[in-house]
Structure 1
Amino acid sequence: MPSPAKYLCLLLIGLCMSAFAYAQKQGQQKIDSLQRQLPLLTKDSDKVIALSHISFAYFPIDPSQGVTYGEQCLQLAKHIGFDKGEALAYNALGANYWAKRNFLKAQDYYLKALKINTRLKDKAQMARNIHNIADIYLRFDPNKALSYYQKAVAIAHEINDQEKVLGYQANISSVYQVQGNYPEALNYLQKSVDLARKLHRQRDVAAYESLMGIIEMEIGHYSQALQLTTDALAIFKQIAATNPAKDDIPRTLLNIAKIYGKKNDLKNALLYNQDAFRLFDQLPGNMGKDYAAECQNNIGQIYLDMVLRKTKPDTRYIQDTVLKSHLYQSEAAFRKSISISLLVKQWDALTIAQHGLVKVQKLLGQPYAALDTYEDYSNFKDSIYNAEMNKSIALHQMDFEYNQEKDSLNTLNKLQASKIQFLDQQRVLDHLKVKQQWLYFFLTLIIFCLIAFYFLYRYRLAQVRLNNDLHSEKINKQLQEAEYKKNMNQNTLATLISQMNPHFIFNALNTIQSYIYSDNKKLAGEYLGKFSDLTRKILDNSNKATISLAEELALLNLYLDIEKTRFGEELNIVLKVSPAIDPENFYIPPMLIQPFVENAIKHGLLHSSKEKQLRIEISVPNEIEDTLEIVIDDNGIGREQSRQLNSKRNGHRSFANDANEKRIDIINLHLETQKIALEIIDKKADDGSPLGTKVVLFIPNSLN
C-alpha cells in the first residue's frame, strides 16, 4: 500500500476530481452547446472565450481534444492581442496537460497565465492560477505548496470569494496531512466543513468529513474515522439520487477500505476495495485510473497478508491449496495494477505493484519470474524521474520570477548599464569556454563508460551468482527428497516384514490346519478370512503416508482377533478409545501401533506363565492439544528376559521395534513443530522382578 504522504497527495487530486465528476455530467452538453454557438459568433474575442470554455470542458473527458481547442484559442488570442483570452487559453491548456499527467507543461502554462493576470490585476484569476500551481507543488515540495495555497486564500479573502476560500482551506489541510501535522490538518478541514454548512453545500460537507475520517485513521481513532466516512457515504448516496457525481461514492468506499485495512480487518477491507475498484473502473477517461490502480494494489496486498498470516517468516514455497489460491488472486490484482499504472503513468502505484508481485512469485516458487519483476521494480525505483521533475519545476519557477523582475523598469536599466561590460568579458571567456567544454565532454564520456562497465560487471556477476545459488538449492532439495523417500521405503518395508514375518504366518496357517484336521470348517473359514483381510489391509496401507485412526484400529482389531483365536482364553485383551476422539478425522502413519502390540504378545506375553493381560488405551492428553496418547501395557516377562530367551535362538532377529523407531525418527525430521514421541517403560516390582512392559506413543494430528 502507498505511504501516508503519497496517499494524501492523491487526496488533493480527489478533491479536484469531484469537480471533474460534475463536469463529466454536464461537460458534454456544454461542449455541444458551445460548438453550436461558435460559428454564430461575430467577434473574435467572443470566439476566444468560447474556445477556452470548450477546451476547459474537455479536460475531464478527453484532454487530447482539450489541448487541440486550447491551442486554437491561444493562436486566435495572440492574433487579435486579447490578453485576457490568452490567459484563459493558458489556464485551459494547463488543466488539460494536468489531466494528461504532464505536470511540467501544466505548470509552464499556469505560470504564463499568472504572469498575464498579474499584469491585468485580475485577482480572481490570479488566485485560480496560484492554486493550480500549488496543486502541482504538492506532489514534489509540500512546503512550497503550502506557501502558494496561503497566497491563494489571502487573495480569495481579499475579493470576498467564499467558495474559493472553502476549497483552498481544504487544500491547506492536505499539505498539513502530507507533513504529518494532523491537528492543524483537522483544524483547517473543520473550518471548511463549517463554511460549507454556512453556504449550504452539503456535498462539500460530506467530502471534507470523509477527509477528516482519513486523518482520524492516521491518528489511530478508527471508530471516529469509520463514523465520519460512513456518514459521508450516506450523504453522497442521497445526493446521487438527484445530482450524481461519479467519483464521490468510490472515493469514500476507498477511504473506508483504508480504515478497515489499518484495523487489520482484512475481510471488510477487501470488500470495500473491490466495490471501489468496480466503480472507478467504470469512470470515463483516465481520471479514475490512479485510484483504480491503488485499489488493485490494496487487494493484492490483502490477499498476500492472508497468506503471510498463516505461514512462518522463513517459508519459501507455499504448498497449501487455499493459500496458493490467495496468492494467485494477489498476483492477478498486482498485474492489473501494473497495466493500469503503465497506462496513466502512475509510477508510485507501479513500483508498489511490482514490489508486491515479487513477494507473491517467491512464495509461488517462481524465482526466475520474481527476479525479472524485481529488476523492473529496481529500474523504476531508482529512476531519477522525481529528481528531474523537482529540478525542472524549480527552473520554471526561477524563470517566472526572473521574468517578473525583468519586466520592471529598474531591472531594465540595470541590464542596460551592465551590457557593455558583459560583452567585453564574454569575448575573453568564449575561447576558454570552448576548450573547457571539450575537456569536460571527454572527461564525462570516460567517467560514464567506466561507471557503465562497472555496473554491467556487477550486474552480470550477481546474475551468475543467483543462477548458481538457485541451481544448487534445487539439487540439494531433490537429493533430500530422494533420501527421505528412500529411508521411508526401507523402513516401511522393514515394518511390513515385521508384521508379516514367517513365524506369524506359519502360526496362523498351523492354526487353520488344526481346525481343518479337527473338521471344524466354520472356525477354519473364519480364521482364514480374518487372516486374508489382515494381509490385504497391511499391503494396501504400506503405500500410504498416513491413514485415519479408524483404518488403523480396523487393522489392529483383525490382528487381535487372530491372536485371541490362537491363545484362546489365556489372552485377555482390552482396547479402549476415548469418546472425545473422532477416529475418522485423526490421521497417523500406517502400521504404527500393530508392531508394538505384536512385540507385547510375542516377546512379553507368549512366555509368561501367569494370566496374560494386554491393555491398549487411546486418549487425548489435556496438556497437549490435538495429540493422541497411545498406551500399550502388558504383564509379560519384560524386555530383559525376552532378550535372554531370544539370544538362545540361532538366527533370530527382531525387526518391529527397530523399524518403527527408525520410521518415527525419519518422520520427525520433516515435522516443524509437534513431533512423534515414543517412550518404552520396563515395569518392575519392588524386588526388581519384571511386571511387564509399557509403551507410550504421542502422535500429533498434523501429519496429513
Structure 2
Amino acid sequence: MNRLIIYLTIWLLTGPCITMTAQDSVPPVYQNSARKAVMKLSTSLESGKSDYSVATDYEALAKTLMIQGEYEKAMNYLISARQLFYKIKNNEKIARVDREMARIQEIQGKIQEAILSYGNAAHLSQDTNFIELNTNDVNRLKNISNPVAQSPYIQRNIELLNTSYKPEQQEDRVAAFHQMANVNLVMDNKEAAIGNLNSILSEVKDKPVETIKVQREIAKVYAADSQQVKALASLQQSYDMALKEGHTIEAKKSLEQLVEQYRKGNQQWKALDLYADFMEKLEPLVKSDSTLIDQKFFQAHEARIAQLEKERILKDELIRKKNTFNYVLIGSIVLILIFLVFIVKAWYSIRRKNKKIALQSLRREMNPHFIFNSLNSVNQFIAQNNELEANKYLSSYSRLMRNIMENSNRDFTPLSTELEQLKEYLDLEHMRFSDKFVYETEVDESLDTDHISVPNMLIQPQLENAIWHGLRYKESGGLLKLSVKPEGNSLCVKIEDNGIGLKKSNELKTRHQKEHHSRGLTNTRERINLLNSLYGMHITIEIIEKEGNDEDTGVIVLLRFPLIV
C-alpha cells in the first residue's frame, strides 16, 4: 500500500514537472538580488534621482532578470535604461546596454536584431577592446551556421576578456564560454565542451542558481557521452546545492534529471528513494524558499514601478513643457531687447547725425557775414582806386575761403591748419584796418601742432568780434593778441584786445549790429554745447571785460579744449 502511494506521488510530481519542462514559460527563480534590485529601482524612481542613477538601476534589474530567464521583462527594462542614457548622451553606457540587448535577442533566436545591436554597441563605444568584442560577435552571428568559422571569433573574445579582466564583464566571459561549449558540442568535442562549462563554474562559483544550472548542463554532456556515473555525480551536486540554498524550483529540475538518469540505468528504486526524500523536505523547503516570496514581492512591486515610470515620464513632460515655455519667453525677451537696443541705437544715431548737421549749419552760418564783410572791403579798395590792394586782398581772401570750404565738413582740424587759417584771416583784416590795430600770435613751443586737434572755426569768430566790435572803433594803437598754450590736460586759447570794451561797443552799435553780435555769441555757445554732447568733451568759453581807466579797456576771451592728440 505504501509503495502504491509512493508511485502515485511520483506520477503527480513527474506529470507537472514534465509539462513545465516542455513549456517555455518556466516560473522565474527570483533571488534576493532581484528583491534588492527592485527595491533600489523603486526608491530611485520615488525619490526622483538623476537619470543616470535610474538608468543604472534599470540595467541592474534587467541583468538579474536575464539570469533568471525573464528575457522579455529584462528587455523592457533595458529599453528604459537605454532611453535615459540616450537622454543624457552617455554613449558608453548605451553601448553596454546594446550589448546586453543583443545577448537576449541571440537567446531568443532574433539573430538579425542581435547583429544590429552588437554593431550599434561597437559603433557607439570608444573602448578599443569593447569595439573588437562586439565586432567579433557580429562576425560570429553572421557565421552562425558554420561552427568552424565561429570558433576563432569566440576564442578571440575569451582572450580579450581574460587579458583585460573586469568584474563587470563576468556575464561576457560566461556567455563566451557558453558559445564555445555549444560550438564544441556541434563539432562533437564533448571533452572541450565540459572544459568550457567548468570555466563557467569558476566564474559563477559565488552564484548558487547559476552554478546549479551549469552543473545540470555538464551532466547532460556526460550523459550524452555515456558517462553515467559523472552525469549522476553532477546532478547530485546540483540537487544538493538547490536544497541547501533553498531553491525549490531548481531542486525540482535537478530531481527530474536525476530520476531520468536512474530510469535509464534501471535503478528505479533509487529514483523512488530520491522522490521520498524530496517529499519529506518539500514542505520546509517551500516555507524557507525566499525565491518564491521574492516572486510575489516582485509582482507586487512591478505594478508600482510601472506607476512610478508613468509619473516620471509625466514629470519629465511637464518639465520639458515648462522649459520650452521658458525658452520661448527668454527668446522673446531677448528679441525685444535686441529690438529695443536697435531702436535706441538708431535713435542715438539719428540724434547724433542731427547734431552734426546742426553743427555744420552753425559753422556755415558764420560764413555769409564774413563773406559780406570781405566783399565790402574789396568794394572799398576799388572805390579808392587801389586796384593793387584789391587784387592782393582778393588773392588772400580766395585762398582763405578755399581752405575754409575744404575743412567745412570737419568737426575738428589740426591746430597747425587752424593757426594758418587764423593768420590768413588776421592778415586780411589787418589789410582792411591797417591804421587801427596790429596783431601778435604766440604758440607754446611744446605743442605738436600737427598732431593736436581743435574744433574747426571756433576761434575765428572770437577774433572777428575783437576786431569788429572793439578795435575798429579806435583811431590807432589797437593791439590784438592770440596765444595758445597747454594747461594740464587742456589747451587754452587766449584772445585779448585793447579795444573800446563791451559796454561802450554796445552803446555805439546799431540795432542790427547788436542782433548780429548777440547771434554770434549764441552760435558759439550752441556749437560748444553740440561738441560737448557729441564727443563727450568739456569745452568752455569765458569772456572777461577789462575793468580799469579809459586807457586800459578791452576784452579777454578764454577758450579751453581737451588736449586731443
Q: TM-score, normalised by structure 1?
A: 0.41
Distance 1:110 1:577, change over 3 A: farther
The correspondence of residues 447-526 of structure 1 with structure 2, limited to 5 A, is 447-501=315-369, 504-526=370-392
Aligned to 2:185: none
Cα distance in 2 for residues equivalent to 1:650 and 1:668: 29
Cα distance in 1 for residues equivalent to 2:297 and 2:555: 106
User: Is 1:586 the equivalent of 2:452?
Assistant: yes
Cα distance in 2 for residues equivalent to 1:642 and 1:418: 126
Aligned to 1:441: 309
The correspondence of residues 49-448 of structure 1 with structure 2, limited to 5 A, is 68=132, 86-88=161-163, 90=164, 417=245, 421-448=289-316
Cα distance in 2 for residues equivalent to 1:700 and 1:683: 26
Identify which of 483, 486, 502 aligns with 1:620: 486
Aligned to 2:278: none
- State the shift of 1:568 in Å: 0.6
Identify which of 602, 611, 624 aligns with 2:477: 611
Aligned to 2:494: 631
What CA deviation, in whole Å up to 9, does each residue of 1:666-704 have, x standing for no partner? 2212334x532332222222x7997322222222244x8
Cα distance in 2 for residues equivalent to 1:520 and 1:427: 129
What is the one-letter code of the residue matched to 1:537? N
Distance 1:405 1:508, change over 3 A: same
What CA deviation, in whole Å up to 9, does each residue of 1:620-659 have, x standing for no partner? 22x32xx422111112233333344446447733333222
User: Is 1:695 the equivalent of 2:561?
Assistant: no
Q: Which has the greater radius of gyration?
A: 2
- State the shift of 1:514 in Å: 3.5
Aligned to 2:535: 671
Cα distance in 2 for residues equivalent to 1:485 and 1:649: 33
User: Is 1:548 the equivalent of 2:402?
Assistant: no
Cα distance in 2 for residues equivalent to 1:78 and 1:505: 103
What is the one-letter code of the residue matched to 2:318? L
Cα distance in 1 for residues equivalent to 2:305 and 2:157: 44
Distance 1:435 1:465, change over 3 A: same
Q: Do 1:600 and 1:693's aligned partners in 2 also have CA atoms closer than 8 Å?
A: yes
Cα distance in 1 for residues equivalent to 2:168 and 2:384: 116
Cα distance in 1 for residues equivalent to 2:461 and 2:412: 16
Q: Do 1:495 and 1:595's aligned partners in 2 also have CA atoms closer than 8 Å?
A: no
What CA deviation, in whole Å up to 9, does each residue of 1:519-541 have, x standing for no partner? 43322111011122222222222
What is the one-letter code of the residue matched to 2:554? G
- State the shift of 1:408 in Å: 5.3
Cα distance in 1 for residues equivalent to 2:380 and 2:550: 40
Cα distance in 2 for residues equivalent to 1:609 and 1:414: 137
What is the one-letter code of the residue matched to 1:696? L
Distance 1:438 1:493, change over 3 A: same
- State the shift of 1:410 in Å: 11
Distance 1:506 1:65, change over 3 A: same
- State the shift of 1:551 in Å: 1.7
- State the shift of 1:406 in Å: 7.3
Distance 1:518 1:452, change over 3 A: same
What CA deviation, in whole Å up to 9, does each residue of 1:368-424 have, x standing for no partner? xxxxxxxxxxxxxxxxxxxxxxxxxxxxxxxxxxx9997559999999737564312
Identify which of 565, 568, 571 aligns with 2:434: 568
- State the shift of 1:512 in Å: 2.0
Cα distance in 1 for residues equivalent to 2:504 and 2:244: 121
What CA deviation, in whole Å up to 9, does each residue of 1:12-44 have, x standing for no partner? xxxxxxxxxxxxxxxxxxxxxxxxxxxxxxxxx
Q: Do 1:633 and 1:695's aligned partners in 2 also have CA atoms closer than 8 Å?
A: yes
What is the one-letter code of the residue matched to 2:355? N
Cα distance in 1 for residues equivalent to 2:243 and 2:409: 96
Cα distance in 2 for residues equivalent to 1:701 and 1:604: 30
Cα distance in 2 for residues equivalent to 1:421 and 1:645: 128
Q: Do 1:573 and 1:615's aligned partners in 2 also have CA atoms closer than 8 Å?
A: yes
Distance 1:449 1:647, change over 3 A: farther
Identity of aligned residues (%): 23
Cα distance in 2 for residues equivalent to 1:83 and 1:690: 115
What is the one-letter code of the residue matched to 2:477? E
What CA deviation, in whole Å up to 9, does each residue of 1:546-578 have, x standing for no partner? 221122122211211110001113211001122
Distance 1:650 1:474, change over 3 A: same
Identify which of 462, 469, 489 aligns with 1:596: 462
RMSD of aligned alpha carbons? 4.0
Q: Do 2:436 and 2:477's aligned partners in 1 also have CA atoms closer than 8 Å?
A: yes
Cα distance in 2 for residues equivalent to 1:689 and 1:77: 123
Cα distance in 1 for residues equivalent to 2:157 and 2:320: 53
Distance 1:442 1:518, change over 3 A: same
Distance 1:566 1:80, change over 3 A: closer
Q: Do 2:545 and 2:556's aligned partners in 1 also have CA atoms closer than 8 Å?
A: yes
- State the shift of 1:661 in Å: 1.6
- State the shift of 1:586 in Å: 1.5
Match of 2:473, SS state, is: coil
Q: Do 1:682 and 1:690's aligned partners in 2 also have CA atoms closer than 8 Å?
A: no
Q: Do 2:359 and 2:530's aligned partners in 1 also have CA atoms closer than 8 Å?
A: no
What is the one-letter code of the residue matched to 2:162? A
Cα distance in 2 for residues equivalent to 1:637 and 1:594: 20
Identify which of 421, 425, 428 aligns with 1:559: 425
Q: Do 1:628 and 1:698's aligned partners in 2 also have CA atoms closer than 8 Å?
A: yes
Cα distance in 1 for residues equivalent to 2:321 and 2:550: 82
Identify which of 527, 538, 562 aligns with 2:393: 527
**Contiguous gaps of at least 5 residues in structure 2:** 1-125, 141-149, 174-200, 212-240, 248-287
Distance 1:640 1:443, change over 3 A: farther
Q: TM-score, normalised by structure 2?
A: 0.50
Cα distance in 1 for residues equivalent to 2:363 and 2:552: 27
What CA deviation, in whole Å up to 9, does each residue of 1:578-630 have, x standing for no partner? 22222221222211111111111122222345621111111222x32xx4221
